[in-house]
Chains A and B, each alone.
Chain A
Amino acid sequence: NAGVTQTPKFQVLKTGQSMTLQCAQDMNHNSMYWYRQDPGMGLRLIYYSASEGTTDKGEVPNGYNVSRLNKREFSLRLESAAPSQTSVYFCASSVLVSAGELFFGEGSRLTVL
């Protein structure tokens, strides 16, 4: 089993460019999440999807959009990238949003120049 797969692993953007991070899970989980991890800060939730067809804002949603394409896939889009969005992005999934541990992908390292 692959678990949670993220693409791309690395990306460099110029300010103002757009891009989409892709995430897929093969564990039949209902809930999926996007986090960002910055030095000296804990993982911060950007958006989450409790179940297929629903999405909700997390702690730091500004500048991002998400799409829950189906039960397996949850994408994160940066419409107009800013240097403050330079970070490592992690996709995660769990059986339910209300309980249980998170399973993480390997991360996508994004640099915005």
Chain B
Amino acid sequence: EDQVTQSPEALRLQEGESSSLNCSYTVSGLRGLFWYRQDPGKGPEFLFTLYSAGEEKEKERLKATLTKKESFLHITAPKPEDSATYLCAVQAEENTGNQFYFGTGTSLTVIP
């Protein structure tokens, strides 16, 4: 069964303390892997799309990487404003009626 697993569920970092979030997936064919940021009481906000193993994307303090079985969201020298829940989603090649499979997210708290 296709699924997406994110770890850890929650992460507390000191400001400036770099770390990585993990997203592992099992789909029969990957069309794309997406990272979103979700602030409390808000809808998910798109961050990155990755399409093939070895691909990397960067935005400010965030860098997303992709292998054949997982993706990492690296956070370098985080700031308190990076606190949010980060969601990973995969889009499978086959049309199964569920175009995107979402993980349950990693809740990141950055302490000043």
Name A's B-contacting residues (CB within 8 A): 4, 33, 40-45, 48, 56-59, 90, 92, 97-107
Contacts and interface: CB of A to CB of B under 8 A. Distances in A.
A23 to B, nearest CB: 11
B18 interface: no
A56 B96 CA distance: 11
12 contacts: A43-B87, A43-B100, A48-B99, A58-B97, A90-B43, A92-B43, A98-B95, A99-B32, A99-B91, A101-B46, A104-B44, A106-B43
Contact count band on B: 20 to 34
A63 to B, nearest CB: 17
B42 interface: yes
B34 interface: yes
Given A43-B44, A58-B98, A107-B43, 17 more contacts: A42-B4, A42-B102, A45-B99, A48-B99, A58-B97, A59-B97, A59-B98, A90-B43, A97-B99, A98-B99, A99-B32, A101-B34, A102-B44, A104-B36, A106-B42, A106-B43, A107-B41
